[in-house]
Structure 1
């Protein structure tokens, strides 16, 4: 039988998701700053490239940073609330 997860409690879940949203807001601001710096450095190099290069670089950098932040944030949320401890992983009796 699986133990009850701490995220089943509405107060604990609300606190955990508020912390996750706060982390994501911070990472969004950091990502915007990093993308702006990267675009400025690319522009300063003075190479003649298409505007599509800048769009692709900004989107690639921004999406990869935010995806990484979201996945790590979910790991922190799961571990920090004790949700990971509520999962039982019994070894199987089979021998392969």
Structure 2
């Protein structure tokens, strides 16, 4: 039976997802730091510019990369296969009723 393999596959996918989230957070912090250095060099250093940059850059990086990480997690953990199996069974059942 494939159930033990599925559990270990999901656990491995969860570990990889956690590792990806840590790297994404680190990348977000580094990009915020680079953006703040750029603001300082250009001379647009104000409280509002700094706050907007920190929030905008960090949230954008987390959102963009996080959604990609979730897509990879969904595929690696078997969730996509579960949905594909469920919808194919439903379409077969509905096709027989016609």
Output the aligned Cα RMSD. 2.6
Per-residue deviation, 1:5:
8.6
Q: TM-score, normalised by structure 1?
A: 0.75
Per-residue deviation, 1:42:
0.9
Q: TM-score, normalised by structure 2?
A: 0.73
Alignment check: 8 A CA contact 1:23 1:73 kept? yes
Choose the corresponding residue for 2:50, options 49, 54, 62: 54
For residues 31 and 39 of structure 1, the distance between their equivalents in structure 2, rounded to whole angstroms, comes to 12
Query: Which structure is higher in helix share?
Result: 2
1:26-85 CA-partner distances (Å, limit 9, x unpaired): 1111111111011100111113x5312211111111011112222111110111233212
The count of residues paired between Structure 1 and Structure 2 equals: 88
Q: Which residue of 1 aligns with 2:11?
A: 14
Gaps of 5+ in 1: none
Gaps of 5+ in 2: none
Alignment check: 8 A CA contact 1:5 1:86 kept? no
SS at match of 1:28: helix
Alignment check: 8 A CA contact 1:20 1:73 kept? yes
- State yes or no: 1:35 paired with 2:32: yes
